[in-house]
Amino acid sequence: ESKLEKRKEDFVRNNLLSDEFIEFVQKNKKPFDTLMSYYQCAIMEVETKFKVLSEEYSLEYDRNPIENIKSRVKSFDSLLKKIRRKNIPLTMTSIEENIQDIAGVRVICSFPDDIYRLADCLLSQDDIILLEKKDYIKNPKPSGYRSLHLIIQTPIFLQEGKRMVTVEVQLRTIAMDFWASLEHKLRYKKNISEEQSAFLAEEMSQCAEISASLDERMQKVKDMLIQSEQESKE
């Protein structure tokens, strides 16, 4: 019964908060839309930076280090959920300051060492500011999650001048992306017993290990091929 009560309370609280949020967005429609468009512009800037690096690399080494780039501006729904979860005051500035993944750029690389090469190249550009780096490849999450996360600021150039915008960049290999995509789908399955859930967590973490060892082997094969190619040129 108390559980039910708590659910009801949650429902009421969340609903109130979402009403409050919707009202906030309606009242601030213009500045809110403007802010969201800045994030879209920042995504375009960061994507272009990666495409330029990839173009240059392809010319030099005859190989594309980037398989795919997937970008998104955070949806209204997940923005609201995060504001709620982190108890962020409903003002434009506090949303901008406290939520660092409104603009997200996911770069899917071919090999693990492409991740670090691309990250270093991006971070050495003189208009990019690094706010935070989280290396979940060297230090995987307990779930097994692996990726390199960079929270950066990039300038966008507007009529009235330059504006710095925060972007979350996630760099990962195809194998890391494969694991993260499927784990994300399985994570939200409901009606699972505690026992089952512990088993699944262990399974997922082991799958991540297998996936990481595949990455390592593919990397070694690539290194071997490059080396024999160089030796045959000498």
Contacts of 69 (CB under 8 A, 6+ apart): 47, 50, 51, 105, 106, 107, 108
Q: Which of 81, 117, 134, 222 is in the footprint of ligand GTP by CB under 6 A? A: 134
Residue 114 binds to Mg ion (criterion: CB under 5 A): no
Active-site amino acid positions:
168
Q: Which of 143, 153, 205, 219 is in the footprint of ligand GTP by CB under 6 A? A: 143
184 binds, among Mg ion, ligand GTP, none (CB under 5 to 8 A by kind): ligand GTP
Q: Which of 145, 152, 154, 172 is in the footprint of ligand GTP by CB under 6 A? A: 145
Q: Which of 45, 101, 177, 215 is in the footprint of Mg ion by CB under 5 A? A: 101
Beta bridge partners of 106: 70, 170
Choose the binding region for ligand GTP from 41-49, 112-120, 138-146, 223-231 (rule: CB under 6 A).
138-146
Contacts of 165 (CB under 8 A, 6+ apart): 38, 39, 41, 42, 103, 153, 154, 155, 156
150 binds, among Mg ion, ligand GTP, none (CB under 5 to 8 A by kind): none
Beta bridge partners of 167: 152
CA distance 7 to 1: 10
Token pair recorded at residue 172: 């990962």
Residues 95-114 that bind ligand GTP (CB under 6 A): 101
172 binds, among Mg ion, ligand GTP, none (CB under 5 to 8 A by kind): none
Residue 149 binds to ligand GTP (criterion: CB under 6 A): yes
List interacting residues with Mg ion (CB under 5 A). 101
